[in-house]
Amino acid sequence: MKIGDIGRHQNLAIIFAISFMAQLPLTTLRFVVPIYAEHYGAGIFIIGMLGTVYGLTYSLSAVYFGKVSDRVGHKSLAIVGLVLYAVIAMLYSSFDNPYQFVVGKSLEGISMAMVWPSLEALSSKLGAKNKEGALLLYTVSWSVASSIAPYLSSYLVRLSFLYPLIFSAVASIIGAYFILRSKIGNHSLIPESNGRVSMVFDIILPMTLYGVNSSIFYSFYPVYGIVAGFGIRGAGLLGTFYGIFLTVTFILSFFLSKRVKSRSLIIAGALVDLSVLLLLVSHSITSNIIIVSLLGGGLGLVYFSVMINIFRHYHEGLGSKTGIFEASIGAGYIIGPAIAGIPTVLGYRLPWLISGVFTSAVVVLLSLNLFRDNTDVGIQ
């Protein structure tokens, strides 16, 4: 094996490690913070606000920090963000009021806005001549962490409320260490697609959909699982299956994206996500596992298809583009929990109705735009 090959393999391993260690504390806190807030008296409105304020600060900060990372360095900003996240995780241990958790989630949004646009751009550069392989490792890694964290957290939180917080802080610091050790290789472009990219229909709208559906799931399912009678471990199991199917779909999307147009894959993923409407009438843990698995799979198609478009079409100022990508997710984080957290007679079934209605609207808009583009090509 050549020295250059060793370096490339090391970089791919680093991509996997930093993405995994950045997502692990994020998913852990996503799982336990709604449980903590509910324990200290939060109702469905406050539970929804946790996701909304995270989305608000994340969305407002992501575009800014994406541009900053292009100037100061992707590594430096990601390290600062993870260290700050470790501090925030431990700060939760002093909270005993529902509104304090809202403040904590807003701080989380700022710190993660430093991390994710930087890591996406950094993964592209670490991938050097194998950018598509780097993207696959990056997405699979954080989705594996998303699979592990909920079920692991369900055990830790039953032992002590403090354990998941310590775990999140340590994982964040380890992630920062891996980023520090990474070395960027020679920059190389991947083949560009022939089609044009619409910032609205190929990035902003689908990633807002991703943000709405993923934030509704992460904001409400930990408490929904308890209310539905699954218990904390059952809720953790739902999160694990969601993450597993997200991972499987990322791998599948890697191969599909070579044969199928990105926008078609995005629409297909959104159609799969409509299965969430079945949660309105199906309440057994077995049916819930199947439905949230489909939700994770559909969102995986959407996420990977948009990201591969960015990698293929944009090479300079990548942090700025990933900042828009992440800000769109953040916008979804605002919309989903804010509407789904409105107290109604539907209770914890309302979030799934909102998810289904929003997904339907996005499918219609994307399909109409795809039809218009195909018609324009036919006329030409």
Distant-in-sequence, close-in-space partners of 344: CB < 8 Å, separation ≥ 6: 350
Report the pLDDT value the prediction gives residue 295, as an integer from 0 to 100: 95
- Dist CA 193 CA 78 (whole Å): 29
- Dist CA 359 CA 210 (whole Å): 9
- Dist CA 339 CA 64 (whole Å): 26
The mean per-residue pLDDT over the stretch 252-261 comes to: 90
- The closest alpha carbon to 30, from 242, 248, 312, 255, belongs to 242
- Dist CA 27 CA 246 (whole Å): 14
Residue 204 DSSP class: I
Please count the other Cβ atoms lying within 10 Å of the Cβ belonging to residue 226: 17
Tally of residues, the chain: 380
Tokens of 108: 């989380």
- Dist CA 236 CA 147 (whole Å): 9
Best-predicted range by mean pLDDT (39-53, 174-188, 259-273): 259-273
Helix residue ranges per DSSP H, the chain = 3-39, 44-72, 74-91, 98-127, 131-159, 162-181, 205-227, 231-256, 262-273, 285-313, 318-340, 350-379
More confident residue, 228 or 218: 218
User: pLDDT tens digits for 207-218?
Assistant: 999 999 998 888
- The closest alpha carbon to 358, from 205, 245, 233, 234, belongs to 205
Report the pLDDT value the prediction gives residue 1, as an integer from 0 to 100: 37
User: pLDDT tens digits for 92-119?
Assistant: 999 999 999 999 999 999 999 999 988 9
Distant-in-sequence, close-in-space partners of 9: CB < 8 Å, separation ≥ 6: none
User: pLDDT tens digits for 308-343?
Assistant: 888 777 666 666 778 888 889 989 988 888 887 776
More confident residue, 262 or 165: 165
Instruction: Write the single-letter amino acid at 112.
Output: M
- The closest alpha carbon to 57, from 333, 350, 286, belongs to 333
Q: What is the mean pLDDT of the chain?
A: 85
Gyration radius of the chain's alpha carbons: 20
The mean per-residue pLDDT over the stretch 291-301 comes to: 94
Domain total of the chain: 1
The mean per-residue pLDDT over the stretch 113-127 comes to: 85
> In the predicted model, is pLDDT for residue 375 greater than 70?
no
Q: What backbone torsions phi and psi does residue 378 show, to the nearest 5 degrees?
A: -65, -40
> In the predicted model, is pLDDT for residue 37 greater than 70?
yes
Report the pLDDT value the prediction gives residue 100, as an integer from 0 to 100: 96
Q: Give the angle subtended at the CA of 211 by the CAs of 208 and 213, to the nearest 5°.
A: 110
Helix axes 285-313, 131-159, angle to 10 degrees: 150
> In the predicted model, is pLDDT for residue 304 greater than 80?
yes
Domain CATH number, residue 343: 1.20.1250.20
Residue 42 DSSP class: -
pTM > 0.85: no
The mean per-residue pLDDT over the stretch 37-61 comes to: 89
Confidence of residue 374 (pLDDT cuts 50, 70, 90): low
**Percentage with pLDDT > 90 across the chain:** 47
Report the pLDDT value the prediction gives residue 370, as an integer from 0 to 100: 82
Range of the structural domain that residue 103 is part of: 3-379
**Residue in the structure block whose two tokens are 């699982």:** 225
Tokens of 188: 């190389």
Determine which of 132-146, 198-212, 231-245, 332-346 has the lowest per-residue pLDDT on average. Answer: 332-346
**Percentage with pLDDT > 70 across the chain:** 88
Long-range contact set of residues 244-247: C-beta below 8 Å, sequence gap at least 24: 244/147, 244/293, 244/296, 245/293, 245/294, 245/296, 245/297, 245/300, 246/143, 246/146, 246/147, 246/296, 246/297, 246/299, 246/300, 247/140, 247/143, 247/144, 247/146, 247/147, 247/300
Helix axes 231-256, 3-39, angle to 10 degrees: 150
